Structure 1
Amino acid sequence: MRILVVNDDGIGADGLRHLVQMAKELGEVWVVAPNQQCSAMSHRITVHGTIDVIKKDYLIDGVHAYAVGGTPADCVKIGLRYLLPQKPDIFFSGINYGYNVGLDILYSGTVGAAMEAIVNGIPSIAFSKEMNDNYDVTDAYLLSITKELLSRSIQKNQIWNVNFPGCNMSELRGIVEDRIPAQEQFYSDHYERTELKKDNFRLRACGVKNESAKEGTDMKAVLENYISIGKVDNHILR
């Protein structure tokens, strides 16, 4: 199996390394990742200027790796057109540093990359995790969940969206499926304002974490220390 792996946190991200290590258990791995942090770029692509593509010696042996001076969606396009010898069998995106649940899915570069992959006819899974450095639950369940999802059928306009809590194994409450995106952001919009001269001002983003969500949603699941599995549609595809 040939696997293309992209993320939005950059080629040096820990989450990418955990995902690549798992992917190696399944087949031949190609990493095409941004050379810098590209969170919240959604499905953005580069239409002006140039994009540098640099071959890398990745931290994990036997992995083909390239750093791209563009967005996550750019990485998918470039990987398919210029780098991989053949179309991959599967596409993995992530593991994002921070949940992609609720309305945050709209802004996610992780999900945007997965959407670009299904536009090109490649089955895709987006992986995200709580914004901390605890990968105990993720590493314990990542391979088994991936194998299970790969064995299932999914519509050509859908991706799997998997979110892992960053809790200890003893705190994990289980796995829940068919979670729908909550109709709110995990971090609600909030900005700290600093006054500047001549009626100008500066804003610093500092979102406020949501502490509750409706039953049946992806956000409710992760807030209660469940692994959340759901599907996200691309409504342009039919």
Structure 2
Amino acid sequence: MQEKPLILVTNDDGITAPGIRALIKTMNAIGDVVVVAPDKAQSGMGHAITMDTVLTCNPITIDDGPQLEYTCSGTPADCVKMAINEVLNRKPDLCVSGINHGANSSINVIYSGTMGAAIEAGIEGVPAIGFSLLDYKWDADFEASEEYVKKIVLNALLEGIPEGVVLNVNIPDFKNHEIKGIKICRQANGSWKEKFDKRTSPFGKEYYWLSGEFVCKDKEQDTDIYALENGYVSVVPVQFDLTAHHMIQKLNAWEL
């Protein structure tokens, strides 16, 4: 009998979030599932790790599924480190992170705790995929994502993901789009036009609330933003070697 793949599941919205519960259910149909996820929301943490305080990681039972679950006090990247080094008795065959409440397309991949966890898995030599749904509501229809999540995961297990690469998958809001299929894309060139809302507390102290608007500078049709706006699930292969290889030759010409 062939051994089932060992699948590590994590996220950044917290272990009780509907997105991760839907992802766990889907992964249970594919392999043996171990969950190590934050005990509270950790959105926007990127690849942050905990270095100045202790971490806790404790078993927990949330539903009657066959998966083993642990709740961790740290960031998404901490959860992956903890899983690989302390919880699991062997390296997982795949790490899936999400399903995130909201998009992680374009430049958002830099800030995303969902993708921070997936990238940490990739650094540890584990094939990894981050999943996000373009619906910020807590009661978003994550079940509708199952078909696409399952198809991508099964292909990743069969074909493999190259070392040094993780997949960033974004799924359109099913309420606003009829899903047309899956597109392999590049990351769109976009950024946030940010501002700080300056306020005053009842005690007279000033504080700030970050807000902003996403601006897509990329009008091409091969990007994740274009795919999502036109009803496609976007899949972007992300590398975590940040070297600007095209700049090396130019730098060698400097008088250094």
What is the TM-score when the length of structure 2 is the normalising length?
A: 0.83
C-alpha separation between the residues in 2 aligned to 1:31 and 1:90? Answer: 12
| Corresponding residue to 1:141 among 131, 145, 148 | 148
Matched with 2:224 is 218
2:188, 2:216 within 8 Å by CA — same for their partners in 1? no
SS at match of 1:94: strand
SS at match of 1:101: coil
| Corresponding residue to 2:52 among 38, 48, 54 | 48
Matched with 1:232 is 238
C-alpha separation between the residues in 1 aligned to 2:223 and 2:216? Answer: 13
1:136, 1:168 within 8 Å by CA — same for their partners in 2? no
Alignment of 1:143-222 (within 5 A): 143-168=150-175, 171-177=178-184, 179-185=185-191, 188-194=193-199, 201-210=206-215, 213-215=218-220, 216-222=222-228
SS at match of 2:190: coil
| Aligned-partner residue type, residue 149 of structure 2 | L
Offset from partner CA, 1:35-58 (integer Å, 9 cap, x none)? 011011111111111111121003
2:190, 2:214 within 8 Å by CA — same for their partners in 1? no
C-alpha separation between the residues in 1 aligned to 2:52 and 2:61? Answer: 28
C-alpha separation between the residues in 1 aligned to 2:176 and 2:152? Answer: 16
2:22, 2:143 within 8 Å by CA — same for their partners in 1? no
Shift of 1:29: 0.3
Shift of 1:170: 6.5
| Aligned-partner residue type, residue 229 of structure 1 | V
| Corresponding residue to 1:76 among 71, 75, 80 | 80
2:127, 2:160 within 8 Å by CA — same for their partners in 1? no
What is the TM-score when the length of structure 1 is the normalising length?
A: 0.89
SS at match of 1:161: strand
1:11, 1:36 within 8 Å by CA — same for their partners in 2? yes
Shift of 1:5: 0.8
Shift of 1:212: 7.9
Shift of 1:142: 1.8
| Aligned-partner residue type, residue 198 of structure 2 | R
Shift of 1:180: 1.0
C-alpha separation between the residues in 2 aligned to 1:135 and 1:204? Answer: 29
C-alpha separation between the residues in 2 aligned to 1:57 and 1:200? Answer: 42
- Structure 2: gaps (5+ residues): 244-256
| Aligned-partner residue type, residue 151 of structure 2 | S
Offset from partner CA, 1:210-231 (integer Å, 9 cap, x none)? 5785221112211222110110
SS at match of 2:107: helix
Offset from partner CA, 1:146-190 (integer Å, 9 cap, x none)? 21233224321100111111124962232211x1111214x6423
Matched with 1:98 is 102
2:12, 2:114 within 8 Å by CA — same for their partners in 1? yes
1:55, 1:67 within 8 Å by CA — same for their partners in 2? yes
C-alpha separation between the residues in 2 aligned to 1:59 and 1:35? Answer: 16
Aligned identity (percent) is 33
| Aligned-partner residue type, residue 163 of structure 1 | N
Aligned residues: 234
Shift of 1:60: 4.3
- Structure 1: gaps (5+ residues): none
Matched with 1:39 is 43
C-alpha separation between the residues in 1 aligned to 2:24 and 2:193? Answer: 31
